């Protein structure tokens, strides 16, 4: 990313999570598929990991693990 990397972004999101008492799912998308890189992602506070290239089915599977039904997305529309 041009301004910050995924680890810096994760740290900022986790700080915001602490301030708002929320937990935002973070899924790492990376071409680096080593066990060391995966461990580094989890140590940084990421929740899951998907190696590139990936299929639509793999993306759907990992995202569905972190979706919570009937909970509006932050900043998204809310039920009336």
- Torsion 30-34-38-40 (CA) sign: negative
Which residues form the domain of 34?
6-66
Look at residue 1 and tell me if it is in a domain: no
Domain with 55 in it: what CATH number? 3.40.50.2300
State the total domains in the chain.
1
What stretch of H or E contains 18?
helix 6-20
Q: Is the model's pTM score more than 0.85?
A: no
pLDDT digits (tens, 9 = 90+) for 12-63: 999 999 999 989 999 999 998 899 999 999 999 999 999 999 999 999 999 9
What is the per-residue pLDDT for 79? 45
CB of 75 closer than 8 Å to CB of 54: no
Look at residue 73 and tell me if it is in a domain: no
């Amino acid at each position: 990313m041009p301004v910050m990397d995924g680890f810096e972004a994760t740290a900022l999101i986790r700080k915001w999570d602490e301030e708002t008492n929320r937990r935002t799912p973070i899924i790492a998308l990376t071409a680096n598929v080593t066990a060391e890189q995966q461990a580094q992602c989890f140590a940084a506070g990421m929740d899951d990991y998907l190696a590139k290239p990936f299929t639509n089915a793999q993306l759907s599977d990992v995202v569905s693990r972190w979706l919570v039904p009937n909970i509006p997305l932050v900043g998204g529309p809310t039920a009336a």
